[in-house]
Homo-oligomer: A and B are copies of this chain.
Amino acid sequence: MSLTVDDELWSAVGDPIRRQLLDLLLAGGGGTATTLSQRLPVTRQAVAKHLGVLDRVGLVRATPSGRERRYQVDEAQLARAVAQLSSVGASWDARLRRIKQIAEAIERARES
């Protein structure tokens, strides 16, 4: 029942803005800091910082082109992150079910 989640990855997807960023990148097939910031309630610089951390953990890749810097999602990495995410969810789900069973067992014992 490990909690051993890649902490970098988790905290990267932990931020709501970064989740929206990934979503926008997936939906639009890429984008730059400026274009993305127009669809978000934060400034370009904030978006740039977020793209920086997503880049560092490998969830996105940047390709400079002229004066622009186009980012796109590294799907394999994101798939890894999603897998970890759902594994944590699953482990808690399992534990909750176990707890519930125990509780019910106690309940039954008390009633009899």
Question: Once the chains are docked, how many angstroms separate the CA of A3 from the CA of B19?
Answer: 8
Range of interface residues on chain A?
Answer: 20 to 34
Q: What is the count of identical protomers in the complex?
A: 2
Q: A105 contacts the other chain (Cβ, under 8 Å)?
A: no
Other-chain residue from B22, B23, B82 in contact with A93 (beta carbon distance below 8 A): B82
* Given A75-B99, A82-B92, A10 contacting B3 (CB threshold 8 A): no
Say whether chain A's binding surface is mostly helix, strand, loop, or mixed.
Answer: helix
- Verify A92–B75 contact, CB threshold 8 A: no
Q: Which of A32-76 contact B (CB under 8 A)?
A: 75
Binary interface encoding of chain A residues 16-35 relative to chain B, with 1 for a CB under 8 A from any of its CBs, else 0: 10011011001100000000
